[in-house]
Structure 1
Amino acid sequence: MGQLSFFEKTIKNNNYKEICQQVSDKDILSPDEFGKAIKKVVSNNLIQPINTVALFSGAGGLDIGFCDAGFTLLESVELEEKFVQTMLHNQLEGEYFGKANILAKDIKEYKPNIATQVDFIIGGPPCQSFSAAGRRAAGVAGTKDDRGSLFEEYVRVLKKLKPKGFLFENVYGLLGAEKGESIKKIVQAFNEIGYNVTYRVLDAADYGVPQHRERVIIVGSKEGISFKFPRPTHGPDSFQELKHYSAKEAVSNIIYSKDEKLPVVNGRFGHLLQEIPFGLNYSFFTEKMGHPNPIFAWRSKFSDFLYKADPSKPIRTLKASGGQYTGPFHWENRHFTVEELKRLQTFPDDYKIVGNRAVISKQIGNSVPPQFARILALSVLDQFFNVELPFELSYLDENEKLSFRELKRGRTNEYIKKAQAALEDHKEKPQKKIEQKIYRIGLTDNFKIENNSQSNIEVIFKPTKNKWTIELSRDKQQQELYRVEIKKVKKEPLFLTVNEVHLISYSNLIIDYTILWKLFEQVLIENNIKADLIQLNGYYQYTNDISYNLIRSSDEIEIKDKIWELLELILIDPTIGQIKHINKFVESYDITSDILVNYFSALRKIGFEIRNNNTNPEIPQNEYLIPYKFPTLTPLSVQLKKIF
């Protein structure tokens, strides 16, 4: 397809300022302004339409960028009905997507029937199979997972429609999934249907998005074009090193009504935001950062837990979903509003995202930032369709290295220094005296401790300066049956001045073992010492220097089976926290595999988190992971709802 030049002059090797000057009367345009300007000067002057199909459209972020650059959207396919409603609303009420056929359909059931020749296909399949969350769960399933194999549907549509090219977007974790095999399979599948493929990891912040968002972009050409990726418009790799577009710049001119209540952060950890410096997260409250009252363990949470945005820089990646304390949070110690989130993802102000706050946040977090999409779309226009632009885009050499990873390390060091500076002025809060306490409690089916004055379970918490004792009895039993001793291997306190903790049971019921641990956790929380037991132990992928021992005091604890012996072995097993084949467990615990698997099921019933291929497909068959030596399942645990 050939296009005629419709501009009198083309500026070469220009930076973002010069691009803006060519398409407007301003030196710098916001992403929203840039989209409108590009749409006006490019889209209206295309001689022939560039017919496009979008797969996995979500809320339409990638589609907006390509439509603004002049591509004609013929059809859009998206599984989630709520996301489709957003696109339909903006098609009906705004100037988006033209006359495109917007479908709410499972890609597996999509059978394209388009009379017009399709020139280009865009889209990025769901990324959970390659995501950071998957990696934390011991690797990612990659193309083995149903969601990871959706690229096959992408290939099927390509094979049917035979466009000149395509653009495929996904998380950067795709490159490491299955030890690099996932990307090889995907590239091979595209090659086999006649497409020459190039791919690269880019950071959206380098293209004018006020957000660091690293994504793999795969571009394929039917005509042998070796696509070159656009040089960054912002950051140290851009011409004249134009500064990144900051979060504060992005949201600065949003006007709130007098009656609008800005969303506050409540709950158990909300108050901690006040102390966290800009750009840091929960790790500010860790021992590694030097906090005098470390209630969290290093890397025990996702990086967006209590993450407070730095107004002077782009934010970290917006997530599609998360818990009550999932950032980014505003530097004014509150949630960002929906309009602010749209700006941070570069959605146009007049683009309405349909749904409640949770649904809107999911749509925004799942989207490709439209500004990022615009720059990619302009590069496709230039290289695939010979469209004359009023500026000449500069492209990266094939092996040219970008700076965003190095900058990421630099930001980490910068924020460590910032934390240290903040802690120098930090006034350690005086520890209130910890008093003895008697609990009457019960345990719910989802492992939550509940106060119950009628319960026959009594737990007595006896603290001294150097030692804590927690004793459990039913119906005032008097004989100690076993105790769990917890202490540091090195001669240093577990926390505060406490050197050891003893969990003592007068009951031989297996569920009471869980109640002891849960009560210990509750005491840590009540006294603002640790957020939970995991924070005391440390994240399972890191070694710790805490010793755990179960000492049986009576033959009465010799119940019908060996589960108590198994609990003893788990507490002293140095390989807990590692994925192991069942045979390794069998060898260590001197028990048959069938009986051991039954015991694993029994342990899950008392709150132990035990993972296998059923709970986490990325774990190979017949292999198991016990992350922690104590029961950690809670009402909020993702693992609680999984079938073992």
Structure 2
Amino acid sequence: MKVEESGQQYFFETKAPVNSYREICSRISGTDVLAPDEFGKAIKNWAGAALEQPINVVALFSGAGGLDIGFCDAGFTLVESVELEEKFVQTMRHNQSAGNYFSNANILAGDIRHYEPARSAQVDFVIGGPPCQSFSAAGRRAAGVAGTKDDKGSLFQEYVRVLKKLKPRGFLFENVYGLLGAEKGESIKKIVDAFKEIGYNISYRILDAADYGVPQHRERLIIVGSKNEAFKFPKPTHGPDSALKFPHYSAYDAIENVSSPESGKLPSINGRFGHLLDEVPPGLNYSFFTEKMGHPNPIFAWRSKFSDFLYKADPVTPIRTLKASGGQYTGPFHWENRHFTVEELKRLQTFPDDYKILGNRAAICKQIGNSVPPQFARILALSVLNQFFNVELPFELHYLHEYDKLSFRKLKREKSLRYFRKASHVLGNHKKKPEKEITLKKYNIELTENFKIKNNPESDIEVVFKPTNEKWTFELRRNENAKESYRIELKRLKKLPLFRAVNEVHLVFYSNVLSDYTVLWKIFEQTLVENHIKADLVQLNGYYQYANDISYNFIKSGSETKEAVWRLLELILIDPAIGQIRHINQFSESYKISREELMKHFFDLRKIGFEIRNSNTNPEIPENEYLIPYKFPTLTPLSVQLKKSLLANG
């Protein structure tokens, strides 16, 4: 390998045939292979000399300028950009004033809905990607995505409005690949039809940024509109679909010559799960600690967390998609069990080293994670330059045919199998931790408003935990002479232990106070956590979108209450359809409870910590439909759903 002292890592030295990445780099710089930063500089130098007339571009939803950098490096002249978030705009203006980027562009801060494009110069092309939350993975995990029904998802209409005014030759629209499946395919159809109605031929395709020289697997939907012939997407420059299968740019190569972080300058990784990161093999995440991976102490359920939870980057491959924000356990983490520095994150997103991103660490991470990687944008921009404006490139850039299939999904599956093997190898030498002795306990506790339990010797709620090797029993009383009201029994359907050697868990109520139902579930959960058995009840049950094999039985005694909501709790426990979105009428018919009474009970259950969702808590859920993810209360002080309401006005 060759390394330029102050620049980024080069790849290889060997000369290669025409149209390989080596040949492209050689034609624009005389150097066999360039890192992304140097590639950008070389293309910019070539374009400055080759383009006789400016090709003007307007950028919508510019963010921190990733897409804009790529197009400017390829020779386009940014005449105007618009971005809603002030911090992002400050970043672009700072780099403009430093003299390296965006020259005399008019960089605007404001809502696209109020944007009126300047008409002082002919605009040849428009670029931009509206906010993607409406089509994102987070939305899909919440039982679908809002798509174009959401305020942010409908911003494409503003894109259309600007195109109608500017009448450019074409445009490039970037978004997450989840847009294709949003609203069962209706979202992409609405968007494509809207662009076609104003006179554009539309081409769209999902591409992985890693296939174009970015050290990050980042699948994105690219839509290109043309007034003439349909646009052809560039063939990958890296990976198995590239000429001579030129290797992907690895995370290690991207950051190898970045200065090491100073001690104490990075956020610490601690809390409940921070210590687990050391055990995670590079390339894996929390799933290392699941039964499916073969871990002897599986505290998590398979696919119960986002894939970036405790995700540790593999140095020999591109990383997974960088996120704009996340919790304290959101990766990627460095393979040295630390956070990446800001300069390393810039490299992983291919921002130039001399591009300053303003703000504190959280603001910088948000700007980087929301951006289109500039190296990906450069290759797309060169394709636009060649096809829309007949600019002859100094190398032959090959294009994909409609029937060409790319390999990134297959590669993802192969990588998953490789990581399974890696986990198996690591765990082959992993000794099962000795089990703590679990003994009888008595608690006097109370339940807080945000569903946290805490010890309180003055409380009249007493819980007794009676464990044996094969059975756990939790009993709740408010007075000594109370009789048993209800009992909940948990067992595995396949006659396997629930955990360790425990075959059954019984929750026994000597009380008819509704909130006590939550208290006993929370004590059970706390016991699982304290003994390092499961991270929470969801990990025992499994993520709600996947089938589980636990039976929940509700057993009444002679002293049961007449309160109808307890009947609903029984029905929820034995309902096999819990975890599915259903119309309120389906719930009503199935439970033989009137719609009005059922709605009242839903509000009662929300008050004791049940996570019940509808169109007001999650816009992606259709009106009058409801989702009860779990058969037990799951709201905690950290739950996103805690501050949401089933009512439209909160």
Q: What residue is the counterpart of 2:222 in the other structure?
A: 217
Does residue 543 (structure 1) correspond to residue 526 (structure 2)? The answer is no
Who is 2:276 aligned against?
A: 272
Gaps of 5+ in 1: 1-10
Q: Is the 8 A contact 2:385 2:391 kept in 1?
A: yes
Alignment of 1:353-392 (within 5 A): 353-392=357-396
- Tell me how far apart the structure 2 counterparts of residues 620 and 151 of structure 1 sit (CA, whole Å): 21
- Which residues of 2 match residues 472-491 of structure 1 at below 5 A? 472-476=476-480, 478-491=482-495
Q: Which residue of 2 aligns with 1:177?
A: 182
8 Å CA contact 1:53, 1:120 repeated in 2 = yes
SS in 2 for 1:555: coil
In the TM superposition, residue 448 of structure 1 has moved relative to its aligned partner by: 1.4
Provide the residue aligned with 1:577 in structure 2.
579
1:229: Cα distance to partner? 0.6
Moved more, 344-353 or 205-214: 344-353
Conserved? CA contact 1:13–1:393, under 8 Å: no
Say whether residues 1:567 and 2:594 are aligned partners: no
Is 2:216–2:320's contact at 8 Å kept on the other side of the alignment?
Answer: yes
Query: Is the CA contact 1:13–1:394 (under 8 Å) kept in the aligned structure 2?
Result: no
Q: For residue 518 of structure 1, what is the aligned residue in structure 2?
A: 522
Measure, in 1, the Cα distance between the counterparts of 2:378 and 2:302: 38
Instruction: Confirm or deny: 8 A CA contact 2:483 2:559 kept in the other structure.
Output: no
Matches within 5 A, 1:1-400: 13-222=18-227, 224-256=228-260, 258=262, 261-400=265-404
Q: 1:512-564 CA distances to partner (integer Å, 9 max, x unpaired)? A: 101111111111000000000000001111111111122232435223xx000
**Residue deviations 1:558-611, cap 9 Å, x none?**
23xx00011011101111111111121111111110110111111111110111
Matching residue's letter, 2:328: Q
- Separation (CA, whole Å) in 1 of partners of 2:115 and 2:391: 31
CA distance in 1, matches of 2:97, 2:465: 64
CA distance in structure 1 between the aligned counterparts of 2:261 and 2:282, rounded to whole angstroms? 26
Q: By how many angstroms is 1:399 displaced? A: 1.3
Output the aligned Cα RMSD: 1.5
Question: What's the CA shift for 1:621?
Answer: 1.6
Match of 2:419 in 1: 415
Q: Distance in 1 between matches of 2:329 and 2:45?
A: 41
Q: Counterpart of 1:104 in structure 2: which amino acid?
A: A
Go from structure 1 to structure 2 and tell me whether the alpha carbon gap of 1:402 and 1:534 turns closer, same or farther (over 3 Å shift): same
> SS at 2:459's partner residue?
coil
Alpha-carbon deviation of 1:447?
1.0
Contact 2:17 2:23 in 1 (8 A): no
Contact 1:477 1:507 in 2 (8 A): no
* Number of positions where the alignment pairs a residue of Structure 1 with one of Structure 2: 631
Distance, in Å, in 1 between the alignment partners of 2:480 and 2:29 is 82
User: Residue 633 of structure 1 aligns with which residue?
Assistant: 635
2:302 aligned counterpart, secondary structure: coil
Cα distance in 2 between the residues matched to 1:466 and 1:226? 67
Give the Cα separation in 1 of the matches to 2:559 and 2:404.
70
Write the deviation string for residues 7-48 of structure 1: whole angstroms up to 9, x where unpaired.
xxxx99421111111222422111111111111111343111
Q: What do the CA deviations read for 1:326-351 (whole angstroms, capped 9, x no partner)?
A: 11111111111111111111111111
**Would the aligned equivalents of 1:458 and 1:476 in 2 still touch at CA under 8 Å?**
no
> After the TM superposition, which residues 447-486 of structure 1 pair with which residues of structure 2 at under 5 Å, given as runs?
447-476=451-480, 478-486=482-490
Match of 2:604 among 592, 599, 602: 602
Q: For residue 186 of structure 2, what is the amino acid of its counterpart?
A: E
The residue number in structure 1 matching 2:3 is none
SS in 2 for 1:139: coil
The superposition leaves residues 234-259 of structure 1 with CA deviations (integer Å, 9 ceiling, x where unpaired) of 00111111100000111110013655
In the alignment, does 2:441 pair up with 1:434?
A: no
Of 530, 537, 546, the match for 2:534: 530
- Structure 1 letter corresponding to 2:287: S
**Cα distance in 2 for residues equivalent to 1:522 and 1:369:** 43
Sort the Cα spacing of 1:298 and 1:12 in 2 relative to 1 into closer, same or farther, 3 A.
closer
Secondary structure at 2:555's aligned position in 1?
Answer: strand
| Mapped contact 1:482–1:554 kept (Cα < 8 A) | no
Secondary structure of the residue aligned to 1:626 is coil
Q: Do the aligned partners of 1:576 and 1:626 also contact (CA within 8 Å) in 2?
A: yes
The code of the aligned residue for 1:38 comes to: I
Q: How big is each residue's C-alpha offset from its partner over 1:490-517, in whole Å with a ceiling of 9 and x where there is no partner?
A: 2211101111111122222101101111
Compute the displacement of 1:479 (Å). 2.6
Aligned to 1:3: none
Which residue in the other structure is 1:443 paired with?
447
CA contact (8 A) 1:209 1:245 kept: yes
CA shift for structure 1 position 379 = 0.6
CA–CA distance in 1 between the matches of 2:557 and 2:480?
Answer: 18
Q: Which moved more, 1:170-179 or 1:467-476?
A: 467-476
The residue number in structure 1 matching 2:6 is none
Q: Tell me if the contact between 1:120 and 1:165 (Cα under 8 Å) persists in the aligned partners.
A: yes
Measured in 2, the distance between the counterparts of 1:94 and 1:496 equals 64
User: Which letter does structure 1 place at the counterpart of 2:640?
Assistant: V
Identity %: 74
1 CA distance for matches of 2:187 and 2:590?
Answer: 34
Letter matched to residue 27 of structure 2: Q
Following superposition, the deviation at residue 456 of structure 1 comes to: 2.6
Code of the aligned partner of 1:637? S
Q: Is the 8 A contact 2:446 2:453 kept in 1?
A: yes
**TM-score with structure 2 setting the length:** 0.95
Alpha-carbon contact 1:235-1:244 (below 8 Å) kept: yes
Distance (whole Å) between structure 1 residues aligned to residue 532 and residue 370 of structure 2: 35
Equivalents in 2 of 1:350, 1:441: separation in Å? 57
Residues 257 and 183 (structure 1 numbering): CA distance in 2 closer, same or farther, change over 3 Å?
closer
Contact map agreement 1:612 1:625 (CA 8 A) in 2:
yes
Partners of 2:486 and 2:560 within 8 A in 1: no
**CA distance 1:182–1:257, shift in 2 (3 Å):** closer
Cα distance, 1:360 vs. partner? 1.2
User: Quick one: distance in 2 between partners of 1:641 and 1:13?
Assistant: 58
State the Cα deviation string for residues 122-143 of structure 1 (Å, max 9, x = none).
Answer: 0000111111111111111211
Write the letter of the residue equivalent to 1:601: F
1:183 Cα offset (Å): 1.1
Q: What is the CA–CA distance in structure 2 between the aligned matches of 1:197 and 1:522, rounded to whole Å?
A: 54
CA distance in 2, matches of 1:609, 1:443: 17
How far does residue 367 in structure 1 lie from its aligned partner after superposition? 0.5
Question: 1-side partners of 2:341 and 2:479: how far apart?
Answer: 53
Aligned partner of residue 521 in structure 2, secondary structure = helix
**Which consecutive segments of 4 or more residues in structure 1 shift more than 6 A?**
none
1:298-344 CA-partner distances (Å, limit 9, x unpaired)? 11111111111111000111111111111111111111111111111
Secondary structure of 1:442's counterpart equals strand
Distance 2:479 2:363 in 1: 49
Amino acid at match of 1:496: R
